């Protein structure tokens, strides 16, 4: 398998020349577009190639983490009363006098507005504790106690995050956020600014692939049915509006982030972490998707 | 004419039983749904009937005031570079990663998002001065130096105005607001909370009907071409998504507010102020529209 | 006034170089883009300049004719039960299992789907008679008994009109068309292919300007209230999604067609016919709008 | 397993009281709402319960058949050049002058417009041959040489299918249909009117579950990669806009039809056919989904 990863990575290196590094947050634009890394965590051990240990910010890959902890705290049914799981390119249709309330079914937890709502479902006395619990949980599922926020990216997100503020106030207006919007967004921005590498993402993937069981300790960190739920949500909406295409060409649950990372898992087999910062127009790593397509084909990873 | 107003008001009194008093802002819900008043200001003098002197908050009828002063400060062309004038039920289509910027042409100054943007175009060193200039201008065009903010409605607007905050941050995200969103919204909320009566609205209408000339002094308060511009915008989008219907049944420029007021003007003939707080589903005063339909038919006010 | 028309036409001739001649129907693409003409019909006589007598196809300017005759046959109220009059860039939102019926309020008579529906409201035993009545009515309101269909454009419309067929079957699906869709579209295509010149359009405008009274005979061809209704609809939606802008810069009721024509009227003053085939992105004649802006400014035609 | 099917069917029988039998096609409304059947085809043999042999029309479950044969004829890549695979509640956004062409990515093969387009990709000299090939292919993958069209439903579909005609002409307008729209729709209507039972659907499911290999003969009827492609498309969009929810609660590829049928497959394990005609608001069989949820939970069918 090591040989496969090496070969795939070299074959796909040329795709780092395509796409664009995200720049809507100024700090993100500083990413090294030549970086490319892959890491596979399996029951038989770990395999990796390229810049697997280069740090980048987790960005939208925090979304399944919000969902995991919110489901842990409230159960699947309660979470579903707040957000829907249908794929949708349009989080909502109109904001006007005639339609004062957001519809639950339009708020998918894998797009920003749904992720902010789900973040608010994580139980805590205040937003400081909410962040502490989320950071602690992320450290646990990655097995990496050193995970930290990238302070510069966080500052940049906070400074320029006016669209997320808009979404937060829409949620507030519909009674979907309790307490301060600004404080909840601080948690959201901080979590999106977590510095991770391919191994960290592969470990999250492995936990989902193993249906919630920790490889090292055998401990059931999240119940099987919750891991299955997360995988199903990732399959239908984890790759933005490229999710349908990704299902046909790769065929495993995955989540991408505009930092260039992709977290994927093949249930029963392995977790995968990918990094390459240049993105296609849908916001997914170009070289990352190419590597996953190759890996899926060579190892028949598709669950279909 | 006095006789006509009396008769129309009595005939339309039964419509005060239809529709609903706005309650999305708690303070608004306290409005007396039986109130009904009308006031016509003409070159030959003023005529009025019913509860013309009962105070209510101006609400969306502040929108043409923002537009008048923004046009005074910047000129029509510069304002049009910021907002469009097409009627649209949808202020924008989607808020997602793929569409980071609002399109100018979707921001009509007679819907909230456009009015907030236009409010920000009023020139001022800070938002305190911006409000002072707007209040001063409104007192001048109504000829009423005693106009004041209804403090309870203002507090209520500010407390519950999360959708407007969402719109404000969308504008900020698109570079359409400079400075603090919250401070600009304070100006917006305060202006929407101005306590007016039918006479105040009729005086604004008369100024537009007279193409900017003050009836008493003969002074040109706003240039003719700017008054014509405001009238045209009111015709195509002043009555929310009931503007097309209103053009066919009444046929004069008008603006309604959820406080139950309607300001209308018949160019060259008169300004009209209306009050009746129960609204139809589009947010327009039920009895108010009925009175205007009757008045237009009896006096052939339609400009078509 | 003759001098004004001459000067405006020469000043605006350079705008014939901008925009594009419509080519979605192959026959339309053959139009001479250098042509430019204007014709004003007033109570004091007719004035004209340039290529006012060059023939072109009426295209969407047939829409107010459908509406006039449908209103004659059924009354304003019945017609309003079938189509709405709100401006809308979106004739409908979605075609799917969940939304089997079109909403009346989304079907404006000045966009294709509404015009097809309104065409079907013209009373007739069959579609052959329907066309005969429409042609006869058009000859009458233009005062031109020689009006004929351009057979080549008609064939071209019929051959390539699959989007209009789609709209027709949508209407049929919602019970808004009785009888054969294909036969009704034949009427629609034939009416859109009528060969007219600027004088014909100016005469229609003059009839609307005179609130339905024929200048020559004094006969009331359509009742005043119906002429007022048509003018109001033209004001809010006659110039596609450029109607709001047109209201602010020209300020009179008008209807454009992709053949390059514009029919406009200034109530109480005059009817205007315009021709110049190169269109802007909204489908309106570039030089035509420029001439109307100039004419409105010089003669203060705006009704606001 | 037989015992499980019996128990689940009886437990879910009460759900036949919920929902509504489709009636937009009059013939469909005659369905017996008390009917309920299930059939599982596995490598170890077949298991079934209830009204598994009651015939009903296949309706939208013809969509994956169109896709299978179109992919056989053209390859996955060519089919993808014509239709997209993203889930979407909105097959397209607007039909107007400014947007003359449909966007490929909005045409999903599991909604009507995409299925009509894909039907037209099946290779044939004419539409008579196209239908013959589709019928032959369906008989082959169901192993049922007696499959026939329900003539009354076909007549009913053809008579009332104006929305599908609208979609057909939209496709024609965008160059996505060659030849006669009406003739192609005849093929589409006839295929939707095929009379099947639960066993027929289960056999199609088994073929997909076995990645294209025929259980009896071992023959590779469709290549593995094409079966995987179909399964992936079913997962993200087979259950209309309930696909995301279905992925989380059942977790296997499936396609429903408004006749009350559901075809599902658990890759590597079994094909499933379901019948119960009362539908939820999204057009899926109420009792059918309940049975699949129960079956998935008891037998851990979810592929996540």
Catalytic, B97? Answer no
The alpha-carbon gap from C78 to the nearest alpha carbon of chain B, in Å, equals 14
pLDDT at B98 (0 to 100): 33
Confirm whether C10 is domain-assigned.
yes
pLDDT at B303 (0 to 100): 97
Average pLDDT, chain B: 92
**A233–D267 C-beta distance less than 8 A:** no
pLDDT at B143 (0 to 100): 96
In a shared domain, residues B84 and B168: yes
Left, alpha or beta for D172 (phi > 0: left; psi -120 to 50: alpha)? alpha
Question: Per DSSP, what are the bridge partners of residue D194?
Answer: D149
**A111–B89 C-beta distance less than 8 A:** no
The alpha-carbon gap from A213 to the nearest alpha carbon of chain D, in Å, equals 14
> pLDDT band at residue C116, thresholds of 50, 70 and 90?
very high
Strand D270-275 versus strand D37-42 pairing type:
antiparallel
A partners (3+ CB pairs within 8 A) are: B, D
Give the domain CATH number at B240.
3.40.710.10
Answer whether residue C101 shows pLDDT above 70.
no
Chain D residues with at least one Cβ partner in C under 8 Å: 24, 89-98, 100, 111-113, 162-163, 165-170, 172-173, 181, 240-241, 258, 281-283
pLDDT tens readout for residues C35-82:
999 999 998 999 999 999 999 999 999 999 999 999 999 999 999 999
pLDDT tens readout for residues A170-209:
999 988 999 999 999 999 999 999 999 999 999 999 999 9
Tokens, residue A42: 């399996």
Preferred mutation among C28, C160, C170, C180 to probe D, highest tally of D CBs within 10 A? C170
Q: How far apart are CA C255 and CA B198, in angstroms?
A: 37
Q: Summarize the confidence of residues C182-198 as an average pLDDT.
A: 98
Q: Which residues of D163-181 are buried (b: 16+ CB within 10 A; e: fewer)?
A: bbbbbbbbbbbbebbeeeb
Candidates B113, B121, B129; CA nearest to B169 is B113
The alpha-carbon gap from C70 to the nearest alpha carbon of chain B, in Å, equals 16
Residue ranges making up the domain that contains C228:
2-58+196-299
Q: Are D78 and D65 in contact (CB under 8 A)?
A: no
Q: Are A228 and D302 in contact (CB under 8 A)?
A: yes
Answer whether residue D92 shows pLDDT above 50.
no
Q: In sequence order, what are the residues at sequence separation of 6 or more whose Cβ sits closer than 8 angstroms to the Cβ of residue C166?
A: D95, D165, D166, D167, D168, D169, D170, D173
In a shared domain, residues C114 and C84: yes
The alpha-carbon gap from A91 to the nearest alpha carbon of chain B, in Å, equals 7
Output phi, psi for C195, to 5 deg.
Answer: -85, 120
* Residue where a domain terminates, one of D169, D194, D219: D194
Q: How far apart are CA C233 and CA C227, in angstroms?
A: 10
**Higher confidence at residue B193 or residue C43?**
B193
In a shared domain, residues A55 and A70: no
Q: Summarize the confidence of residues C136-144 as an average pLDDT.
A: 97
* Angle subtended at Cα B185 by Cα B181 and Cα B188, rounded to the nearest 5 degrees: 145
Answer whether residue D97 shows pLDDT above 50.
no
Preferred mutation among C226, C230, C303 to probe B, highest tally of B CBs within 10 A? C303
Per annotation, catalytic residue among B153, B240, B255, B285: B240
Left, alpha or beta for B50 (phi > 0: left; psi -120 to 50: alpha)? left
Chain B residues with at least one Cβ partner in A under 8 Å: 24, 89-98, 100, 111-113, 162-163, 165-170, 172-173, 181, 240-241, 258, 281-283
Question: Per DSSP, what are the bridge partners of residue B149?
Answer: B194
Q: What percent of chain C has pLDDT over 70?
A: 94
User: Alpha-carbon Rg of chain A, whole angstroms?
Assistant: 18
Q: How far apart are CA A273 and CA A52, in angstroms?
A: 8
Chain D residues with at least one Cβ partner in A under 8 Å: 76, 84-90, 108, 227-229, 231-233, 235-237, 241-245, 247-248, 251, 253, 267, 302-304
Q: How far apart are CA A292 and CA A274, in angstroms?
A: 8
Catalytic, C63? Answer yes
Q: Summarize the confidence of residues A66-90 as an average pLDDT.
A: 88
In a shared domain, residues D51 and D132: no
Per annotation, catalytic residue among B15, B39, B154, B188: B188
Answer whether residue B94 shows pLDDT above 50.
no
pLDDT at D105 (0 to 100): 66
In a shared domain, residues D86 and D189: yes
Catalytic, C30? Answer no
Average pLDDT, chain A: 92
Answer whether residue D95 shows pLDDT above 50.
no
Q: Summarize the confidence of residues C273-300 as an average pLDDT.
A: 95
* Residue where a domain terminates, one of D145, D164, D194: D194
Confirm whether B30 is domain-assigned.
yes
In a shared domain, residues A52 and A64: no
* Residue where a domain terminates, one of C136, C161, C194: C194
In a shared domain, residues D24 and D108: no
Answer whether residue C99 shows pLDDT above 50.
no
In a shared domain, residues D207 and D283: yes
pLDDT tens readout for residues D127-179:
999 999 999 999 999 999 999 999 999 999 999 999 999 999 999 998 899 99
Catalytic, A188? Answer yes
In a shared domain, residues C70 and C185: yes
Q: How far apart are CA C106 and CA C111, in angstroms?
A: 10
ipTM above 0.85, yes or no: yes
Q: In sequence order, what are the residues at sequence separation of 6 or more whose Cβ sits closer than 8 angstroms to the Cβ of residue B97?
A: A112, A240, A258, A283
**D235–A87 C-beta distance less than 8 A:** no
Answer whether residue A86 shows pLDDT above 90.
no
In a shared domain, residues A81 and A181: yes
Confirm whether C159 is domain-assigned.
yes
Confirm whether C171 is domain-assigned.
yes
Confirm whether D226 is domain-assigned.
yes
Confirm whether A143 is domain-assigned.
yes
Q: Summarize the confidence of residues B57-67 as an average pLDDT.
A: 97
pLDDT tens readout for residues B42-57:
989 999 999 999 999 9
Q: Are B304 and C267 in contact (CB under 8 A)?
A: yes
In a shared domain, residues B283 and B228: yes
C258: closest chain D residue by CA: D97
pLDDT at D174 (0 to 100): 87
Candidates B162, B160, B171; CA nearest to B92 is B171
Instruction: Give chain A's domain count.
Output: 2
Tokens, residue B129: 């001065």
Q: A39-48, C249-258, D102-111: which range is least confident on average?
A: D102-111
Q: B102-111, C131-140, D98-107, D272-281: which range is least confident on average?
A: D98-107
pLDDT at D103 (0 to 100): 65
Confirm whether B292 is domain-assigned.
yes
| Chain D residues inside the 8 Å CB shell of C185 | none
A76: closest chain D residue by CA: D248
In a shared domain, residues D165 and D226: no
pLDDT at C86 (0 to 100): 81
Catalytic, A63? Answer yes
Candidates C120, B168, C145; CA nearest to A169 is B168
| Chain C residues inside the 8 Å CB shell of B233 | 244, 247-248
Tokens, residue D55: 């015939």
Give the domain CATH number at D174.
1.10.1500.10
pLDDT tens readout for residues B222-236:
999 999 999 999 999
Confirm whether D304 is domain-assigned.
no
pLDDT at A98 (0 to 100): 33
pLDDT tens readout for residues D176-185:
999 999 999 9
Output phi, psi for A12, to 5 deg.
Answer: -95, -5
The alpha-carbon gap from B297 to the nearest alpha carbon of chain C, in Å, equals 10
Would the CA dihedral through B138, B144, B146, B150 be positive or negative? negative
């Amino acid at each position: 398998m090591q040989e496969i990863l090496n070969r795939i990575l070299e074959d796909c290196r040329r795709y780092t020349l395509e796409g664009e590094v995200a720049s809507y947050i100024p700090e993100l634009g500083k990413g090294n577009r030549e970086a490319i890394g892959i890491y596979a965590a399996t029951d038989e051990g770990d395999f990796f190639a390229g810049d697997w240990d280069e740090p980048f910010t987790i960005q939208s890959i925090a979304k399944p983490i919000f969902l995991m902890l919110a489901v842990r705290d409230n159960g699947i049914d309660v979470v579903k009363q707040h957000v829907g799981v249908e794929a949708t390119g349009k989080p909502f249709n109109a904001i006007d006098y005639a339609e004062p309330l957001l519809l639950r079914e339009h708020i998918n937890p894998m797009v920003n507005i749904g992720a902010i709502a789900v973040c608010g479902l994580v139980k805590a006395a205040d937003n400081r504790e909410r962040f502490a619990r989320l950071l602690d949980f992320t450290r646990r599922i990655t097995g990496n106690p050193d995970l930290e926020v990238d302070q510069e990216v966080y500052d940049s997100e906070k400074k320029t995050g006016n669209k997320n503020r808009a979404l937060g106030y829409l949620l507030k207006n519909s009674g979907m956020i309790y307490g301060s919007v600004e404080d909840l967004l601080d948690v959201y921005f901080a979590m999106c600014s977590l510095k991770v590498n391919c191994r960290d993402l592969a470990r999250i993937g492995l936990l989902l692939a193993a249906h919630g069981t920790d490889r090292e300790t055998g401990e059931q960190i999240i119940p099987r049915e919750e891991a299955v739920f997360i995988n199903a949500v990732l399959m239908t909406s984890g790759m933005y509006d490229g999710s349908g295409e990704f299902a046909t060409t790769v065929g495993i649950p995955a989540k991408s982030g505009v930092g260039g990372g992709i977290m994927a898992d093949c249930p029963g087999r392995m977790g995968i972490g990918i990094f390459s910062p240049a993105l296609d127009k849908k916001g997914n790593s170009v070289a990352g998707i190419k590597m996953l397509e190759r890996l899926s084909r060579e190892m028949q990873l598709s669950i279909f």
